[in-house]
């Protein structure tokens, strides 16, 4: 009888503990999107709000209309030590001309350049190529310092017959050639991170981003494969060796710097900028630092989205040897990052010297006194 009572008492304790544990787990349930633990690691931290050297951001998108807009921009740039910015949303024709005039009128001509864009409406008509080349020449004469090609080329742009326009479409060859003749760079964004084409499952490291933004998943879409888009882009580089190309977002090879090294060696006039992919570099500090040292003459500073507070992550990654710090957007990188601790010589090239080589009409005196 005593043994039976002991067993019943033990069973009651187990049941009570189980109920308590289940209740605790129920109250503590969170989603993977919410899980964001605070690190208990204690290591030196260096929060850098101003770049060590003046820098040029070659990848920005601005909406500037009023004098107040320009004043706010200038103040933010000064705070960051950004001496010059490239606004990639220049447009074409009268729109570009008006934007250039607005920049001049607000005293920012020595702080900002505009890149022209291409109007793909009517692509396929006989005169489209001739008209577009003439428009580009006019835009450069009116103050455009380069050409920006958005990711829609190759992905969603269609011709007058409804067919996809490949990045390497021969009807675009005169445009790329004209850029070389005019001495302006082409900043080209092709594709997206390769993970956007992978199944959205537990093996996809961009799962959280795709969960938050389902439209970024191309796994079951009519968009061509990542490999096809990159192949088309590289065929353009090969076909136009006299034109300077800036491959946006490290050409989506920030997670494979060995392959990117091969690409850079193959195309001597191709540069890269790391807008929106600094997290890829911060998770491989040894490999990334070696890459920066090897290709120090071909890397440009780019940020992409204009959020001044986020530049801290870029400065910290490039300038410090800090360990295990977070990226500013969890959905881009669930991993922690490490600083590369680049030398002053490499920093100066990345921050401004390389951009000065390929973007026309930037005042050298603003950088070296």
- How many whole angstroms separate alpha carbon 239 and alpha carbon 246? 15
- Residue 316 in contact with residue 328, Cβ under 8 Å? no
**Number of DSSP helices (H) and strands (E) in the chain, helices first:** 13, 10
Long-range contacts of 204-213 (CB under 8 A, 24+ apart): 205/334, 208/32, 208/33, 208/330, 208/331, 208/334, 209/331, 209/332, 211/33, 211/331, 212/33, 212/331, 213/331
Q: Is the pLDDT of residue 8 over 50?
A: no
pLDDT digits (tens, 9 = 90+) for 150-186: 999 999 999 999 999 999 999 999 999 999 999 999 9
- What is residue 324's predicted lDDT score, i.e. its pLDDT? 98
- Averaged pLDDT, 137-148: 98
pLDDT digits (tens, 9 = 90+) for 198-250: 999 999 999 999 999 999 999 999 999 999 999 999 999 999 999 999 999 99
- How many whole angstroms separate alpha carbon 363 and alpha carbon 369? 11
8-state DSSP, 66? S
- Averaged pLDDT, 42-58: 97
Give the domain 43-366 fold: TIM Barrel (3.20.20)
Phi, psi of 246 (to 5 degrees): -105, 110
Structural domain boundaries in the chain:
43-366
- Separation in Å, CA 153 to CA 83, 150, 163, 165, 192: 31, 6, 12, 7, 12
Reported confidence tier of residue 15, pLDDT bands at 50, 70, 90: very low
């Amino acid at each position: 009888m005593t043994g039976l009572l002991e067993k019943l008492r033990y069973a009651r304790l187990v049941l009570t503990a189980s109920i308590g544990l289940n209740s605790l787990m129920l109250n503590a349930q969170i989603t993977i999107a919410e899980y964001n633990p605070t690190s208990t690691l204690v290591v030196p931290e260096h929060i850098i709000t101003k770049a060590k050297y003046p820098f040029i951001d070659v990848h920005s998108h601005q909406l500037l209309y009023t004098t107040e807009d320009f004043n706010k921009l200038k103040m933010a740039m000064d705070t960051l030590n950004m001496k010059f910015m490239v606004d990639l949303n220049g447009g074409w024709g009268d729109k570009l001309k008006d934007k250039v005039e607005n920049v001049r009128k607000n005293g920012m001509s020595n702080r900002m350049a505009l890149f022209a864009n291409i109007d793909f409406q009517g692509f396929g008509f006989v005169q489209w190529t001739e008209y577009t080349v003439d428009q580009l020449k006019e835009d450069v004469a009116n103050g455009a310092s380069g050409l920006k090609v958005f990711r829609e080329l190759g992905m969603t742009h269609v011709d007058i017959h409804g067919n996809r326009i490949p990045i390497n479409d021969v009807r675009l060859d005169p445009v790329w050639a004209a850029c070389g003749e005019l001495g302006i760079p082409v900043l080209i964004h092709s594709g997206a991170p390769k993970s956007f084409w992978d199944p959205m499952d537990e093996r996809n490291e961009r799962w959280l981003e795709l969960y938050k933004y389902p439209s970024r998943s191309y796994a079951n879409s009519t968009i061509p494969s990542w490999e096809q888009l990159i192949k088309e882009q590289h065929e353009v580089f090969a076909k136009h060796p006299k034109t300077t190309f800036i491959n946006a977002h490290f050409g989506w090879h920030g997670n494979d710097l060995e392959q990117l090294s091969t690409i850079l060696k193959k195309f001597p006039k191709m540069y890269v900028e790391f807008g929106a992919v600094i997290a890829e570099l911060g998770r491989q500090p040894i490999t990334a630092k070696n890459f920066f040292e090897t290709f120090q003459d071909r890397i440009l500073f780019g940020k992409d989205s204009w959020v001044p507070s986020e530049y801290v992550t870029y400065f910290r990654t490039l300038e410090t040897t800090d360990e295990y710090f977070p990226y500013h957007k969890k959905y881009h990188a669930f991993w922690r990052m490490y600083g590369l601790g680049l030398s002053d010589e490499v920093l100066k090239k990345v921050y401004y010297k390389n951009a000065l080589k390929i973007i026309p009409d930037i005042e050298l005196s603003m950088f070296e006194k």
